A = this chain, B = another copy of it.
């Protein structure tokens, strides 16, 4: 059975792929608006991990709507969740996709689908949405990451990653300047996988 893992090139989605590998035929899928080469960056990471990878192009109207949301809100949570829901639905509507796996951890607050969003997507599209790290805390994830991956960590500002935040930040930078990005997004540590420990 194939599992399609939402893949950003970060440690959580990489670990999900590794945990599922003994039980599923894993493909990695990176969602992109083609604003930045996040698909290519994620593909390099996928090659390092040794998994099949493809890029799913998202409708640019979704990014425009997310931009409106974040500017109105003044913080990123709802905009990121909005993109995430659209990405999951877009992948779910892909013929042949039956299982979607997401890298959400126990302590993650963003992006997270609500229970009713999950049930609605599973019912409407006839897919299973699984979060293999949902029952793992930060320390347990870090322990597994250390055993299986070499990662590089850095400030979110310096790092092009295969996630929605990277492209949303870039759109804000283009339209409103760099200051606005710093105002809307708190600095936080991002990870990118360098290689897999076999």
> Which residues of A approach B to under 8 Å, CB–CB?
1, 19, 22-23, 99, 102, 104, 106, 115, 118, 122, 128-137, 139-140, 143-144, 147
Contacts and interface: CB of A to CB of B under 8 A. Distances in A.
Contact of A134 (B99, B134, B143): B134
A122 B143 CA distance: 14
Contacts of A132: 132, 135-136
Smallest CB-CB A-B distances: 8 pairs: A131-B135, A134-B135, A128-B140, A134-B134, A22-B22, A130-B136, A130-B140, A130-B135
A45 to B, nearest CB: 20
Nearest to A134: B135
Contacts of A122: 137, 139
Contacts of A135: 102, 104, 130-135
A131 to B, nearest CB: 3
B99 A144 contact: no
A22 B132 CA distance: 15
18 contacts: A1-B143, A19-B19, A99-B140, A104-B135, A106-B134, A122-B139, A128-B140, A129-B137, A130-B135, A130-B140, A131-B134, A131-B135, A131-B136, A132-B132, A132-B135, A132-B136, A133-B135, A134-B134
A144 B24 CA distance: 10
Contacts of A136: 128, 130-132
Contacts of A104: 135
A130 B104 CA distance: 14
A38 B3 CA distance: 36
Contacts of A130: 135-137, 140
A145 to B, nearest CB: 12
A70 B130 CA distance: 34
Contact of A128 (B102, B133, B137, B147): B137
